Amino acid sequence: MTTLTALAPERRIESDHDELLVTTFYRLLGVRDGADPGEIKSAYRALARKYHPDHNSGHPLSERRFRLLAEAYEVLSDAEQREKYDRYGKVALTKRGDQPGFVGGVQRLLTNVEQAIDARRKGQKRRGDDRRLPLEVSLAHAVFGTTIAISVVRTGTCDLCKGNGADPGTGVEACHVCDSRGSIREGTGLLAVDTPCSFCDARGKVALSPCGACVGVGIRERTLEVPVTVPPAAKTGRRLVLRGYGPSGVNGGEAGDLFVELTIKNHPLIERDGDDLRCAVPITITEAVLGGEAVVPLLEGGAVAVRIPPGTRSGQFLRLRGRGGPTEKGARGDVLVRLDIETPVVDSHVARELLTRLDQVSIHPLRASYVRALNQHQASEPGGS
């Protein structure tokens, strides 16, 4: 079994946590709109103590909540900023305290489950995307078939906290920002809009000590090993469909499909020809004349020795029956071995002499008949035969 890494989800969703809280600084601190500075201060202090990241070993989710509280307090505790905010909302405030390190930290940790969180916030049921996975297999695996394990990343309910986002043994509390509703109603009558609460990620509950496995979001990635069966006689471009092994769906939506696309690697000695296999073996002049033995590689591994018959011509084939690839009828094709006579490289006086001597003592019937025909041709009238 070979293991391949696959499928890091590519999509990123920009975090819009801050935007969702545009009109809810008061709500964030749990005070009424007209609260006096003293009320705001004590509300902030109590919440800051509760959500301070130091109590949660610098947990990113706690840090984010803490930052939201701090941002709200920064504005509401400053008379001038508060007035602007009351009048024009958050857009009126210059610089939103862009802290890329902070946001980046959360995003890096959440990237692969963001899609799921985003959809949970919006309450959408969505099927996972389909995905392509290129897979390179050896010629032997493609010819005879094999099973290859691939790693597939899934997102689903965190098994450690059972999805409630709290460290095992600790509890969850009602979200004070949305009053456990998971969303915040803004506007009235027909214009009322329910905005998902980003303090609790639309869950209505907040884990004071977030689950370490899922960063407190209740959704976690898991890596599954999935066996992929490559059938015998597979060709490059063949698509194997793994239904339901694509990226997970969200909010109960089904997972997408995974399309494994095969590419067959070349073998250095063996080529495929239908059900048959082909290979070329270089032999010497002497082996061709006197016969000998050639060692032929087998695709399933190892090699066999085959007899080179005396008087072998260059390019002559030998056929190893039943040693090729599997056929549709359950039999096996052949291995066709081409014997190529190699013209020797001669770089010594002795070798040159021996070869010349060899020529003189050998019989060359083809050459003899050629010379006879050539002589006749030269002796005949031009235009005759």
Binding mask 126-165 for Zn ion (x = CB under 5 A): --------------------------------x-xx----
The interface region with Zn ion, picked from 67-75, 135-143, 211-219, 287-295 by CB under 5 A, is: 211-219
Round to whole Å and give the CA distance between 144 and 232. Answer: 5
The residues with which 273 forms a beta bridge, in sequence order, are: 276
Contact flag: residue 178 with Zn ion (CB under 5 A): yes
The interface region with Zn ion, picked from 193-201, 319-327, 364-372, 374-382 by CB under 5 A, is: 193-201
Strand order in the sheet with 146-157: 3-4, 146-157, 219-230
The residues with which 277 forms a beta bridge, in sequence order, are: 272, 335
Which residues in the 352-381 window bind Zn ion by CB under 5 A?
none
The interface region with Zn ion, picked from 172-180, 227-235, 309-317, 333-341 by CB under 5 A, is: 172-180
Applying CB under 5 A, among 110, 211, 260, 294 the residue interacting with Zn ion is: 211
Round to whole Å and give the CA distance between 266 and 39. Answer: 75
Beta-carbon neighbour count of residue 101 at 10 Å?
7
Applying CB under 5 A, among 106, 113, 197, 277 the residue interacting with Zn ion is: 197
Q: Can you tell me which residue has the tokens 């460290």?
A: 167
118 CB-near residues (< 8 Å, 6+ apart): 13
Q: Can you tell me which residue has the tokens 């985003």?
A: 118
Contact flag: residue 283 with Zn ion (CB under 5 A): no
Q: Residue 61 Cβ, how far from Zn ion at the closest point, in Å?
A: 11
Q: Do the beta carbons of residue 261 and residue 237 sit within 8 Å?
A: yes
Dmax (CA) of the chain: 128
- Closest CB to Zn ion among 70 and 213? 213
- Closest CB to Zn ion among 177 and 264? 177
Q: Residue 58 Cβ, how far from Zn ion at the closest point, in Å?
A: 17
Chain residues that interact with Zn ion, rule: CB under 5 A: 158, 160-161, 175, 177-178, 197, 199-200, 211, 213-214
